Amino acid sequence: MMLPNELNEVIELVKNHTIWRKKECINLIASENVMSPLAMILYMNDMMHRYAEGKPFKRYYQGLKYVDELEVKTQKIMGELLGTEYVELRPISGTIANATVYKSFANYGDKAVVVPVQAGAHVSHTRYGTLGALGMEQVEMPFNLEEWNIDVDGAVKLIQQVKPRLVILGGSLYIFPHPVKEIAEAAHSVDAKLMYDAAHVLGLITGKAWENPLKLGADILTASTHKTFPGPQGGLIATVTREDYKKVGKVVFPMFVSNHHLHRLAATAVTGIEMKLYGEEYAAQILRNAKTFAEALAENGFKVIAENKGYTNSHQVIIDVKEHGGGAKNAQLLEEANIIVNKNLLPWDKPEDIKNPSGIRLGVQEATRWGMKEDEMKQIAEYMRMVVIDKKDPSIVKEKVKEFRKNFIEVQYAIKISAEMEEELLKIMLHPTRI
């Protein structure tokens, strides 16, 4: 059968993208990762066609007896990783999880104390994102550039003065853990809830490389499930108390989510089990890789942020490339060399610098998932120097990168299944007529 040209074009675009990103590129986007083959196979299940409004076993639709059991099982797996019984998986993204918490614990006109945008806050924490869309006022806490972290004394004083309904920690530009215990005490002293956005560091927390904010005083943890936690795209909310969990549940549906993309539950569960089995090893290697990468970049002539603090304690490394033409220009050049990064505002940038900020944000979690270790981090730093500092033709570096990636095409820290089981699962997921 002759396929329509437009269908051939769609197929080719998807094939080209997948081969390029999975076999030919070094991905250093700090907010991305790859699922294991088993998680990907189970992601392609019939649940993607179904609706499940409401909570497990209390739905508004029939036909969900297996979905209900799977959702409860996945909640249990994630709860065990986070040390709480109260996990809400219905938010379809970290941003929706954040919006749900805002609406659950604050009202139009209330104040929220947040990290400054240039110092790492996600846009959803600000007047430009869901916080502002819900009519809440963003108040930025002071940031200590020397420590590359929140100014604790200044933040405590601000919280006591402003008396917000919410205090938000966590972020998307994020190299050191935020001071949860001290900020939690200040928040609770004015009857505010402390929300910790762990979207970027959920894998480090579940891998026990970072302390769990819920054990340090945070009331609520929100997260994405696809960054250092290498699952499918989605969101979650975890709470310490049943009361807060029930409040969140009444808001996520029906206010922000109708159907919650049920097919991702199985892939989230698989990834959670993988993190139980391999998470500590994976998270520890992420931290080693990030530190080595930062040191190697500095040795190759880059201006790496927070040298006085050892550069990083997370999956991220931040470089200032303003003297080399800025973040936008160099992110484009690096993409031409098959090294994928993103431009990023730094604390000294102005809002109008957003189109070409000083910084580039780098993350090593996906490279680590592909099996790269310290020696590979040093090699990647050299490739980046060739493009950004030595001004070599990116097309020449691109060929080196493609050759380099040939050694790293199998996902690590993952459950391996037999070829027979893989074939059986694919048959069930994609070809029910062959069952």
What's the pLDDT at 106?
97
- Give me the chain's average pLDDT, please: 96
Alpha-carbon distance values, 255 to 97, 176, 301, 428 (Å): 12, 34, 50, 35
For 145-178, write each residue's pLDDT tens digit.
999 999 999 999 999 999 999 999 999 998 999 9
Task: Report, as ranges of residue numbers, the positions in the chain whose pLDDT lies below 70.
Answer: none
Alpha-carbon distance values, 128 to 106, 131, 137, 170, 272 (Å): 17, 7, 11, 17, 33
Sorted by where each begins, the domain ranges of the chain are: 40-271
Give CA–CA dist 408/226, Å, rounded.
Answer: 20
CATH class of the domain comprising 40-271: alpha beta
Question: CB atoms < 10 A from the CB of 185, how many?
Answer: 13
For 233-269, write each residue's pLDDT tens digit.
999 999 999 999 999 999 999 999 999 999 999 999 9
pTM, full prediction: 0.96
For 336-381, write each residue's pLDDT tens digit.
999 999 999 898 898 888 899 999 999 999 999 999 999 999 999 9
| Buried/exposed code over 381-414 (b: 16+ C-beta within 10 A; e: otherwise) | bebbbbbbeeebebeebbebbbebbeebeebbbb
